[in-house]
Chains A and B, each alone.
Chain A
């Protein structure tokens, strides 16, 4: 399964001030700004292939079932999550150290042809989102045969 990056829609007037860094500077804790590259914003994924299915396991702790949105469109599987609670927590405590923040993210995968889109199953347990994508047999294209005319 190959991973395809999801690009932000490009604005017609790209600007130095448009990337949100100023916003981050004023709103995020300073630690987070200076460490910006180090804060993990996107959870890690393990992908395993068995004979019957593909299994994705996403390490996204601290979320709830309802925060996830999983879409299979064309041959693209998109998993996104949005968690509301985070803002409140930040108010009553100041971060001394921040290495992860999984409150809003999205990841996409290109699915191979032999996936059964209708039977994708997902479960959130113990901080891991597990997605099982069953395989189906792909009918091989019919073989060409040339018939000679008698």
Chain B
């Protein structure tokens, strides 16, 4: 499927604060929990890599947007049918959103994303001439 036909759900933007890559002093509601997946962010010489542990979804369920140097990743899926009252339920990643402020040298426009083996891997190239002002939607492959 090429970008022109990729289905992209319009997921309503939630009131989430963007978190800087390395900021630990942000408020508590941004931490991973049973309904917000955990994230690993690493940096190499040429790119930033964001890996989100969100198993049990499909690539169509994600919505990634870069706007004003903030990357917002949201996902929504029809509920899986767990009954939290009756069973042991430690995770439920059917509806969440996380946002990160991009560093100055991250090129949001050239971001690519891939959903593989339950992990959403987002690669953002590093470029000193990066332009992060314009808004882009990133498709997940």
Contacts and interface: CB of A to CB of B under 8 A. Distances in A.
Interface stretch (A6-14, A19-27, A87-95, A132-140): A87-95
Contacts of A59: 53, 55-56, 90-91, 93, 118
A46 B89 contact: yes
Majority SS at the chain B contact face: loop
Nearest to B39: A99
Majority SS at the chain A contact face: mixed
Given A59-B56, A128-B56, A47 B42 contact: no
B42 A127 contact: no
Contact of A92 (B44, B55, B93): B44
Interface in A5-60: 31, 34-35, 38, 40, 44-49, 57, 59-60
User: Which of the four size classes fits the interface of chain A?
Assistant: 35 or more
Interface of B: 21-22, 24, 31-32, 34, 38-44, 48-49, 51, 53-58, 82-83, 86-93, 117-119
Interface of A: 1, 3, 31, 34-35, 38, 40, 44-49, 57, 59-64, 89, 92-102, 126-128
